């Protein structure tokens, strides 16, 4: 059966231990593989995306041993992979594909990189253009500007490295360059053209690089300087904090369903930008509390068919993934909710802006879709029951729309797509949900 029927949920309450952050997990795996020394990684996210990174690194000759549930021992290569020829398949894992492509482009091997059909529709041309300007030899095996790729040995010029990359398409391009350039040992300066989107994800990259001994100087998030002769060195033990994007679904459930719902594994000390989703819920009228390693949400006015929250007008550049959750929360808010600066949604696992608009309409919402915004008006007479929500092989679509069950029964098509980042999501969701009899 390739669907999941969720009956109406009348209340949400409980405690959830979050899985490890996808963004941190794949960054740490790559940095540990490039570092000098042995890294013990604990609380790694177990998902399709991290699985693709682990398999790719193993193919490249990295010594990886699983030492426990979600724990790994990784022997670093000192910046030079042993295997010089490999064919790597990365599924639809952008957090694995883009940084690994940048790293391999600055090495001396022959590598092919590919993914699922959707990955071959996700642009990578701006990253490849930047790498080619400093001597990388990369060919497109399909359409220009898109994977799959053929990567051949690099020919670096003498002297310092200077390059530029667009900041308004995907922050993963800048992340890839930042993570890759230390393997050259050269001083490097990256200029970002345009407005840098998803800035917190770049901050996350810099934080993980610091753990491995590489410090990047930056000016106003437009110029990044890596001093020469900085190499990755293992910090020994690294623990992955909980996933702030995954926290958004449970925190939203607490706000819509009364709560309290507490997520453990992420809090006020988090380095993830999506932790600020809690601020957005607070602006909508939820009661949000936070500790160093937990966040809790509730709403005393929820229930009895009321719309407990208030619509908001929000620039979502700082929470691009968690903003999807707000789009469904808007169904339970009085007034119109406008989510802006979300053009990056169109370049993700699916065209999330178009997909979100289409599925929200199935529930009776009034929708205005722009190039980089969505405006949502909740239906005046309640949500349309029995809608079958298509998920487009996109984990976040499936998890977001589970929240619609706080208003009506809903069917989630292809619920297994959550395995990309949170294989046991629906089991965890049902733990906090009190369904109507």
Query: b/e per residue, 204-237, with b = 16+ CB within 10 A?
Result: bbbebbebbbbebebeeeeebebeeebebbbbee
Q: Give the separation between CA 88 and CA 56, rounded to whole angstroms.
A: 6
Per the residue annotation, which of 321, 390, 393, 414 is the catalytic one?
Answer: 321
- Does the bond joining 244 to the residue before it have cis omega, within 30 degrees of 0? no
Residue 252: both structure tokens together: 């939203």
What is the DSSP annotation of 158-194? SS-EEEEEESSS-HHHHHHHHHHGGGG-S-EEEEEES
Strand order in the sheet with 110-114: 85-89, 110-114, 149-152, 137-140
Per DSSP, the three-state class of 312 is: coil
Residue 76: both structure tokens together: 């670093």
- Residue that the structure tokens 């642009």 belong to: 123
The candidate with the shortest Cα–Cα distance to 182, out of 233, 232, 135, 136, is 232
- Residue that the structure tokens 């917190």 belong to: 200
* Three-state DSSP string of 66-117: EEECCEEEEECCCCCCCCCEEEEECCCCHHHHHHHHHHHHCCCCEEEEECCC
Distances, alpha carbon 121 to alpha carbons 47, 59, 99, 146, in Å: 22, 25, 17, 6
Q: Among this protein's residues, is 160 annotated catalytic?
A: no
DSSP-based helix, strand, coil % in the chain, nearest 5: 35, 25, 40
Q: Which residues contact 389 (CB under 8 A, 6 or more apart)?
A: 359, 362, 397, 398, 401, 404, 410, 411, 412, 413
- Does the bond joining 260 to the residue before it have cis omega, within 30 degrees of 0? yes
Residue 123 burial (10 A CB sphere; 0-12, 13-18, 19+): middle
Q: How far apart are the first and last CA of the chain?
A: 23
What is the DSSP annotation of 119-159? GGGS--HHHHHHHHTTT-EEEESSSTTSS-EEEE---PPSS
Q: Mind telling me the catalytic residues?
A: 321
């Amino acid at each position: 059966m390739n669907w999941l029927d969720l009956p109406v949920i009348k209340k949400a309450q409980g405690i959830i231990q979050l899985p490890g952050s996808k963004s941190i997990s794949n960054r740490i795996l790559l940095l540990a593989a490039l570092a000098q020394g042995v890294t013990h990684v604990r609380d790694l996210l177990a998902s399709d995306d991290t699985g693709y990174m682990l398999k790719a690194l193993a193919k490249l000759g990295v010594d990886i041993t699983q030492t426990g549930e979600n724990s790994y021992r990784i022997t670093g290569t000192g910046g030079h992979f042993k295997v010089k020829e490999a064919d790597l398949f990365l599924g639809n894992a952008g957090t694995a594909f883009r940084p690994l492509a940048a790293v391999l482009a600055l090495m001396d091997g022959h590598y092919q990189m590919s993914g699922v059909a959707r990955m071959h529709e996700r642009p990578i041309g701006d990253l490849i253009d930047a790498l080619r300007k400093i001597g990388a030899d990369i060919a497109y095996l399909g359409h220009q500007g898109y994977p799959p790729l053929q990567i051949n040995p690099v020919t670096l010029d003498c002297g310092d490295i200077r390059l530029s990359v667009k900041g308004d398409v995907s922050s993963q391009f800048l992340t890839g360059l930042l993570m890759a350039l230390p393997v050259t040992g050269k001083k490097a300066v990256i200029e970002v053209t345009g407005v840098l989107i998803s800035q917190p994800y770049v901050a996350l990259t810099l934080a993980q690089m610091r753990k491995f001994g590489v410090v990047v100087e930056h000016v106003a998030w437009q110029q990044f300087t890596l001093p020469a002769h900085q190499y990755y060195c293992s910090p020994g033990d690294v623990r992955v904090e909980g996933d702030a994007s995954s926290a958004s679904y449970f925190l939203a459930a607490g706000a819509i369903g009364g709560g309290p719902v507490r997520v453990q594994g992420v809090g006020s000390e988090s380095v993830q930008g999506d932790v600020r989703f809690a601020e957005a819920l607070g602006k909508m009228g939820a009661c949000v509390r936070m500790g160093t390693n937990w966040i809790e949400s509730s709403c005393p006015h929820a229930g009895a068919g009321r719309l407990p929250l208030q619509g908001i007008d929000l620039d979502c550049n700082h929470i691009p993934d968690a903003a999807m959750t707000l789009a469904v929360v808007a169904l339970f808010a009085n007034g119109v909710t406008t989510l802006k600066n979300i053009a990056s949604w169109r370049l993700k696992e699916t065209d999330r802006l178009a997909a979100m608009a289409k599925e929200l309409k199935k529930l009776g919402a009034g929708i205005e879709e722009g190039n980089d915004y969505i405006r949502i008006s909740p239906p005046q007479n309640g949500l349309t029951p029995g809608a079958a929500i298509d998920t487009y092989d996109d984990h976040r679509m499936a998890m977001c729309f589970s929240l619609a069950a706080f208003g009506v029964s809903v069917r989630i098509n292809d619920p297994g797509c959550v395995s990309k980042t949170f294989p046991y999501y629906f089991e965890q969701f049902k733990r906090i949900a009190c369904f109507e009899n």
